[in-house]
Amino acid sequence: MGVLDRSSREKLISEMKKLAIENDSAFWKDIAERLDRSINRISEVNVGKISRFAKSGEIVVVPGVILGAGSVDEPITVAALYFTKTAKKKIEEAGGKIYTLKELMELNKTGSKLRIMG
C-alpha cells in the first residue's frame, strides 16, 4: 500500500504541489519536498513511536515508510507513503485507520490539523 517507485512518487509529488498551490497549503508543500528525495533518505518510523507520541484524535502523517516495530495499544490514525505488512496489521488490530498520502490529500486538501512525524 503506497508508492515506492520513483515515477509513481514523482506523479504523487506533482499532484501534491498542485494541491498545495490551489489551497495555499504549506503543509502539502512541505510533504512534497520531503518526498522529493532519494529513496534512501525517505523517513522510516516505527508504529511504536507513533503510538507513543500521537495524541488522541489526531492524524499522523509520515512522509515515508511506517515499519512494524513496537506495539500499538490504542487506535491511531496514520497516513504514509508506504506501510509494511506488520505495521498495517498492528494498526488495524488496535482499531486504528490507515490512509495513503493520496487518500489523505483527498480528505484534507488544506493539510490542517495534521501532524508530521519522521
Total structural domains within the chain = 1
* Residue 61, in any domain of the structure: yes
* Residue 105, in any domain of the structure: yes
Parallel/antiparallel/unpaired status of strands 43-46 and 97-100: unpaired
* Residue 49, in any domain of the structure: yes
* Residue 59, in any domain of the structure: yes
Residue found under cell 511504536? 48
Residues 118, 64 contacting (CB under 8 angstroms):
yes
* Residue 39, in any domain of the structure: yes
Domain interval for residue 23: 6-116
Angle at which helices 6-22 and 26-35 pack, to 10 degrees? 160
CATH number at residue 55: 3.100.10.10
DSSP character at residue 23: T
The pLDDT value recorded for residue 1 is 42
| Low pLDDT (below 70) residues in the chain | 1-4
The pLDDT value recorded for residue 3 is 58
* Residue 1, in any domain of the structure: no
